[in-house]
Structure 1
Amino acid sequence: MKGKVVSGLAMLTALSVVGAMIKIPAIVGSVALDVFPALLAAVLFGAGAGAVVAAFGHLLSALIGGFPLGPMHLLIAVEMAMLVWMFGRLYKNNKVLASALFIIGNAFVAPLPFMFLMNVGFYLGIVPSLLIGSVINTVIALAAIPRLTSLVNFGLAKREEKL
């Protein structure tokens, strides 16, 4: 059973790489469609699994973009992991709240440390792109989750019957 979960997470991480190649115009080249697979993983396989996919997905997106913020991408990967973990935990009880908190957290809260590390201009310049990227990633995930949940649940039920 664990092998199939690991395979699923590997496929979602690979999908993050594909999404990382679809960039949102921004002052930093790492804003992309790389987080929706992590949101999928958080709902389908658990919040912790989604956090791992989010961290790897962001680091791969930053790698494709040339690591424009250098080692600060490690901080962003941790922030992404925490936001996706929170989304995964809240999604079961309240999809709207989970989505809203993810979008607000990713667009407005996550870049706050960079206001102090860089400047206010960087923060104000990156927020619109992050907001657009967050909304697009969340909408894609919300559209895909119901369709994929039935496939994953069917596969899990079928495996349990065999055991």
Structure 2
Amino acid sequence: MTSKKLSLIALFTALSVAGATIKVPAIIGSIALDVFPALVIAILIGGSAGAIVACFGHLISALFGGMPLGPLHIMIALEMAILVWLFSKLYKNRNKVLAGFIFIIGNALIAPLPFMFLIDKPFYVSIVPSLLIGSSINAVITFLLAPHLQVIYVNAKQQEAER
């Protein structure tokens, strides 16, 4: 991994930390706008970079929320990493709408499924609406920002190549 990619991962992780401070009202205080930087970097430089940012972004967001689910946040961080990686693959294969849809459904309905069994069904039912709203907001921000940032990123790469 080049130092430029590592710097971008660090920058987008910092943006994820900033997004982690913007919370969506929920039963648990860890639903935030921490994932859109991961989705954007996944579009710009790849799914593995996005997965790293998603993982760290979620863990930091959970820390800000007081880690209400404790060590289960590690499982959630891994789920976020997988969802962002999958989003990247679908987005880059020109399936942008499908990528957004899969991310939203995956994050709001599928990722919290283990909690139906680990905690209880009322917990799952109560957390889904907040996750749906948070996932949708993160996806919309991504779809609004990514095209503009892609142009900037591609132009910067071209200027670098010309040097």
TM-score by length of 1: 0.97
* CA RMSD in angstroms, aligned pairs only: 1.0
Q: Does 1:73 align with 2:73?
A: yes
> Can you list the C-alpha shifts for 1:33-81, whole angstroms capped at 9, x where unaligned?
0000000010001011000000000000001111000000000000000
SS of residue in 1 equivalent to 2:9: helix
1:2 Cα deviation (Å)? 1.8
2:137 & 2:6 partners in 1: Cα distance? 26
Instruction: Show the counterpart of 1:32.
Output: 32
Instruction: Show the counterpart of 1:160.
Output: 161
Identity of aligned residues (%): 60
Q: Does 1:19 align with 2:9?
A: no
SS of residue in 2 equivalent to 1:130: helix
1:9 Cα deviation (Å)? 1.3
Matches for 1:33-52 after TM superposition, within 5 Å: 33-52=33-52
Runs of 4+ in 1 over 2 A off after TM superposition: none
Instruction: Show the counterpart of 1:95.
Output: 96
Instruction: Show the counterpart of 2:126.
Output: 125
Q: Which amino acid aligns with 2:64?
A: I
> Can you list the C-alpha shifts for 1:74-126, whole angstroms capped at 9, x where unaligned?
00000000000000000022100000000000000000000000000000000
TM-score by length of 2: 0.97
> Can you list the C-alpha shifts for 1:22-43, whole angstroms capped at 9, x where unaligned?
0000011110000000000100
Instruction: Show the counterpart of 1:86.
Output: 86
1:56 & 1:5 partners in 2: Cα distance? 16
2:6 & 2:153 partners in 1: Cα distance? 13
2:73 & 2:151 partners in 1: Cα distance? 35
Consecutive unaligned residues of structure 1, counting only runs of 5 or more, are none
Consecutive unaligned residues of structure 2, counting only runs of 5 or more, are none
2:156 & 2:59 partners in 1: Cα distance? 30
1:161 Cα deviation (Å)? 2.2
1:160 & 1:51 partners in 2: Cα distance? 27
